[in-house]
Structure 1
Amino acid sequence: MIRRILKVMTAILTLLPKRLSLLLYELNSNTNCTWQIALRYCIVGSLCKAIGHNVYIGKRVTLKNIENITIGDNVSIHDMCYIDGYGGIKIGNNVSIAHNTSILTSTHTWSDQSIPIKYNQVIAGKVVIEDDVWIGCAVRILYKVTIGQRSVIAAGTVVTTNLQSGWLGAGIPMKHKKKLEDW
């Protein structure tokens, strides 16, 4: 019954102009009241490529270029995360993203010295987070990275390269630290 209600609310929200939907999202992002969590889910579902069931989006989560983001089932994105889908993001099933994490899908170049760096070309690169991944708090995932299934990224890690399935990644920059099955 609840799924059906959420599906209808999401369908209704798709009829709103994008700017109005984004405003509604911002107005409902300051607390974790049950109804606000449900409304955030519906708003995000109306704007992103796809969203699965049982998705939690915490308070003060910033979502940029949301139309390029796909979210699977049983995903939790905790408070104060920053996620920019400019280059595309695919989040698999059973993924937990702890608070204060950033996922960036683009980077600036600096080769044209005649203009400031911030006006140089921007390069996009998709981020893929496969199924059954736990991302610790304050992790930074940079563009063009794949996190393999059943993996863990330790708190405070800066991810600049792919993480193979079944590994713990940690450090700045991230390195493969330990195979999870060895624990």
Structure 2
Amino acid sequence: MSYLSKQQLSSIGFKSIGDNVLISDKASFYGVQNITIGNNVRIDDFCILSAGEEDFLIGNYIHIGCYTSLIGKGKIILCDYSNISSKVAIYSSNDDYSGEFMTNPMVPSDLTNVTKGSVVIKKHVIIGSGCVLLPNVTIGEGVAIGALSLVNSNCEEFNIYAGSPVKKIKKRKKDLLELEKKIINNYDY
């Protein structure tokens, strides 16, 4: 994988960008003026990040796996230490599928009924490959989402969820909070 140089990153026009940011030269960005990227972030090949009119915030120590898309009109927030596996789709806006309205962004907006809402992914969340997250969802701290899951509702902290739609499977261990202290105390943050 080939990463953009620091000079190339600064020329993209992000709202702000931190240190030790590794972004593939094959990733695509839209609405960059609303995208903030923290420190120690890696974004892999063929990712699409498209910010709407609201802020798109990526914290510190974040990985976004290949072929992932994060798109929509609403706010998207990835808090520190989140891990988004490959082929995840995160939507902060969504068409109305009922048939009562038309769909797609090329149709005049008065003929559509788009749902818009924030997607917030708290600290230490891991989202498995192939998951879909819909608007108006908050994933609590320390949550693990199993591969191929559909997330259409909030997830409570330190639990493991899976399924379509997701269901709580069991509690998740909190050992990683002690490991976070090692990063804070021993590494450049």
1:52 maps to amino acid: G
Count of residues paired in the alignment: 157
Query: Secondary structure at the residue paired with 2:90?
Result: strand
Q: Where do 1:25-174 residues align within 5 Å? A: 37=23, 47-65=33-51, 68-109=55-96, 113=100, 116-118=102-104, 119-174=111-166
Rate the CA distance shift 1:59–1:110 in 2: closer, same or farther, 3 A: closer
Q: TM-score under structure 1 normalisation?
A: 0.73
Q: 1:74-97, CA deviations, whole angstroms, 9 ceiling, x for partnerless residues?
A: 100010011104111000000110
When you count helix as a share of all residues, which structure comes out higher?
Answer: 1
Return the offset for 1:58.
Answer: 0.6
1:51 maps to amino acid: I
Q: 1:97-137, CA deviations, whole angstroms, 9 ceiling, x for partnerless residues?
A: 00000001112236784x53444221201000000111110
Rate the CA distance shift 1:49–1:60 in 2: closer, same or farther, 3 A: closer
Rate the CA distance shift 1:100–1:11 in 2: closer, same or farther, 3 A: closer
Rate the CA distance shift 1:54–1:116 in 2: closer, same or farther, 3 A: same
Return the offset for 1:38.
Answer: 6.3
Query: Secondary structure at the residue paired with 2:135?
Result: coil
Rate the CA distance shift 1:117–1:177 in 2: closer, same or farther, 3 A: same
Query: Secondary structure at the residue paired with 1:59?
Result: coil
Q: Matched residues in 2 for 1:52 and 1:133: separation? A: 16
Q: Matched residues in 2 for 1:78 and 1:127: separation? A: 18
Partner of 1:32: none
Rate the CA distance shift 1:10–1:36 in 2: closer, same or farther, 3 A: closer
1:120 maps to amino acid: T
Q: TM-score under structure 2 normalisation?
A: 0.71
2:142 maps to amino acid: R
Contact 1:110 1:120 in 2 (8 A): no
Q: Matched residues in 1 for 2:99 and 2:168: separation? A: 35
Rate the CA distance shift 1:168–1:89 in 2: closer, same or farther, 3 A: same
Contact 1:75 1:94 in 2 (8 A): yes
Q: Matched residues in 2 for 1:133 and 1:105: separation? A: 18
Contact 2:79 2:122 in 1 (8 A): yes
Rate the CA distance shift 1:135–1:9 in 2: closer, same or farther, 3 A: same
Return the offset for 1:39.
Answer: 5.8
**Identity percentage of aligned residues:** 26
Partner of 1:31: none
Return the offset for 1:165.
Answer: 0.5
Rate the CA distance shift 1:66–1:116 in 2: closer, same or farther, 3 A: closer
Unmatched runs of 5 consecutive residues or more in structure 1: 16-34
Query: Secondary structure at the residue paired with 2:173?
Result: helix
